[in-house]
Each structure stands twice: as C-alpha cells, then as structure tokens.
Amino acid sequence: MTAGTDCPVGEAERDELLAICRRTFQQPRDDDSLPRQFHRKTHGCLRGELVIEPPDLPSVRHGLFARPARYPALVRFSNSFFDDDRHPDLRGLSIKLRDVEGTVCEGAPAGQQDFVLMNEAIGPAADAAEAMDLFRALDGIRAVTIASVAAPRYLFPSVLPWRWRWRYLAFLNISGLRHLLGRDLGQMTFTSVTPYRLGDGVTKFLVRPERPAVRRRPARGRDFSDRLQAALDDGPMTFEFCLQPRVLDSDPVDDARQAWRSLIHPVGRLEIPPQDVRSTIALGDRLTFSPWNALVAHEPLGSVNALRRSAYAASAANRGASAAFPVAE
C-alpha cells in the first residue's frame, strides 16, 4: 500500500506546481478577488445530512463507517473549469461533515471530514509525475477554454502517433460524451477517483443517486443551479454513499487513470432537503473543501493526493477561504 505520507512531493516540484496554479488558474477577477484554482463555479452549497448505516462487513467498519451515525453536511456542486454550464466539463461534488469523532490529519480542522468527488471514475493523470507534465503543458494559457484544456502540446508531444497520449484523449472524449448524456446533477454518480485509507486497507468513495432519482424525469432549467432547484422543489434529493474497498490486486493504488473492479458497498445515505439553492452559492465560495481535511482513518493515499495537499492548501490560503464548518449557515 502506498500512503499519502509515503509519497512526498519534492520541494522544487511543489513550488513549481504552486507557481503554475497561481499564475495560470487563479488569476484575479475584475474586482481583484481570487477564485478557486479548480472547480471554481459553485452551483449550490446545500444543507444536508449523511446517515451512516454500515453493513455487517469487517472490511468497511472503520473510522467514520464503524457504527451507525448521523452527521450534518454541506454539499457543494461545482464545475471544474467553465462558468458556462453548456460547455463539456467535470462536475464536482464535495461534502463537509461536522461532529465527527477521531484524530484528523495534520492541519485539518478537528471534528470534520471532507469528501471531494467528481462525475468520472478516473482522472486526467495517472500519477503525480504525469499530472506535473500536464500542468507544465497548460502553464501560461491566456484563458481557460475547451481548446486550451485539451492541451495540444501535452496530447501530441511528437509527430509519431505511438507517442501521443491516447489515454488523455480518451478521457476528454468520455467527459464530453457524459456532458451530452447528463444535465441533471441529481442523477449523476460521483467518485473520489483517488484512494483513501480504510483500516489496514484502501478504499475509494462513491456517491450515486438512489433509485427514485434515477426514475424521475431529469430536472429542467437554464443552468445547473436552476435544475437543482427544480429537483428540490419536487422533494428531497437522496444519494447512496458507498465504499469500494480494494480487494483485487489488479486495482492500482497509484494510477488514477484506471477504474477499480472491486465490489461497491452502500454504507449510508446522503439526504438534501428542499431549500433555496441560489442563496447558498456565496457560502460555497467562502469555504474550502480538501481531501486532506480528513480523519487519519481515511488519510488520502497515492502520489496524486500528495500533490493535491499543497495545491488545495495554497488555493485556499490565497483567497482567504475557510475550512471550518460554519456555526450558522
């Protein structure tokens, strides 16, 4: 097993990453405020509750999932790159819990647990080295557009086709197809993509719509905030919260480009009651969600998560965002 603490990012590499992210992905807005480096557009930051109901399986009963419990939650839906919801993009779902018991990772707020997920089972880069190559290729782009995110310099490093990065091209195509097929956040499945500690083992996290959400007609609206509101106007939104413990040796710990085949186990339910979606957007913009705001029992693992630790912390510090679950919502 490769733990996050066993995958340190070199100081020079960390400084290079932070410089690229700041000058390319966190440029000041017209009012001089700084956005997030990634997943900058908030569709809503909704009040909810995570109800843990773990099955009687020793492999999943660890940390947050050791026993039945209920946790107040904030659930932020987002776009990765674009403000225009009509563009193909990664959609994010982040969850912040409070009243959590247990020792947290160094620098994380006590009593809290964050989960950071997106609507893909795999990531754009396999590991930290590949991610750095992609960041270097994107460094200096004047604006984040569909063409620039495609990163032609990264995709086609040579005139020789066998040196082209076919897996990244496939990732872009799959993301584009998913955009065409799904415009309702309440009917999307979100995964952690990267692995996390679970007792002496490793797991990924997965949040998927419960059956009633799958059966209902997709919510309509001009953008994702409107569609979230339309869905909530019909009643609470509910998702299954699942673990995917690693039991197959073929499921890699440090290759985010490969989806796991190990069995998925529901361990709880995420409930989001009806509320005014647009009134919650400002809260989502003030907060920060990080995979490293976590219990030690669910420590992020692998080199991509090690790289994310510095990037998430710097992004939050630059814009003065808070990791703390707000006392009054």
pLDDT of residue 173: 83
pLDDT of residue 212: 66
pLDDT of residue 51: 98
Model pLDDT for residues 243-261, shown as the tens digit of each residue: 999 999 999 999 999 999 9
Per-residue confidence band for 3, with pLDDT thresholds at 50, 70 and 90: very low
pLDDT of residue 1: 45
* CA nearest to 67, candidates 77, 57, 75, 76: 57
% the chain with pLDDT above 90: 63
Q: Which residue has the higher pLDDT, 329 or 127?
A: 127
Residue 274: is its pLDDT beyond 50?
yes
% the chain with pLDDT above 70: 95
- What domains can you pick out in the chain, each with its CATH number? 4-319 (2.40.180.10)
Q: Which residue has the higher pLDDT, 83 or 70?
A: 70
What's the mean pLDDT in 39-65?
95
Q: What is the dihedral of CA 301, 187, 125, 256, to 10 degrees?
A: 40
pLDDT of residue 15: 87
pLDDT of residue 213: 62
Q: Which residue has the higher pLDDT, 280 or 14?
A: 280
CB atoms near residue 276 (< 10 Å): 10
Place of tokens 């754009």: 124
pLDDT of residue 5: 46
pLDDT of residue 2: 45
What's the mean pLDDT in 88-106?
95
What's the CA gap between 88 and 239, in Å, rounded? 23
Q: Which residue has the higher pLDDT, 36 or 53?
A: 53
pLDDT of residue 33: 82
Q: Angle CA(269)–CA(274)–CA(276) in degrees, nearest 5?
A: 130
pLDDT of residue 75: 98
Q: Which residue has the higher pLDDT, 74 or 164?
A: 74
* 74, 45 contact by CB (below 8 A): yes
Model pLDDT for residues 226-236, shown as the tens digit of each residue: 999 999 999 99
pTM confidence score: 0.92
pLDDT of residue 24: 86
Query: What mean pLDDT, rounded, does the chain reach?
Result: 90
What's the CA gap between 206 and 54, in Å, rounded? 14
Model pLDDT for residues 138-177, shown as the tens digit of each residue: 888 888 888 888 888 888 888 888 888 888 888 888 888 8
Residue 121: is its pLDDT beyond 80?
yes
